[in-house]
Amino acid sequence: DERTQILAGFIKPGARIIEFGAGNMSLKKFLPLYCTYTPSDIQKRSEDYLLCDLNKKIQLNLSAYDTVVFSGVLEYVYDIEDVFSQLAPFIKHVVISYVCTDVSNCNRLNEGWLSDYSKKDLKDIFTKHSYEVIDYREWRKQSLFKLRKQ
């Protein structure tokens, strides 16, 4: 939960959050006051979950949210730039954990990961879609980004 606590610390009170790849929803218990939280994943784990496969077009109403959280899920996405092109018109804040190729040398194929972006690759995508990095930290060879729409 240490990584999850750090990511929750990137979120402002009162945020309207959707978490992609929510898993067991551990983020929810660390959120600041007055946040609304919607979990989503590739499989529906309970009635609260929205179904979403990030390797396909996002079919959710993104205008209902101002903050997106990706915690250890973007490694399973082929085209992160496509995801950001869908978020950019609606989402003001993005919180990410990602194992960048220049931070960790783990075997991506063995992990089942589909993408292999460096910090620079990700920052280029962020910039292209008018997001700036507000905070950056590394945790156990993972890159943690807090982004804000410019």
pLDDT tens column, 23-75: 889 999 999 999 999 999 998 888 889 999 999 999 999 999 999 999 999 99
Report pTM. Answer: 0.94
For helices 119-128 and 80-87, give the axis angle rounded to 10 degrees: 30
CA distance 68 to 44: 18
At residue 121, the pLDDT reads 96
What's the token pair of residue 41? 């994943």
The enclosing H or E element of 137 equals strand 131-139
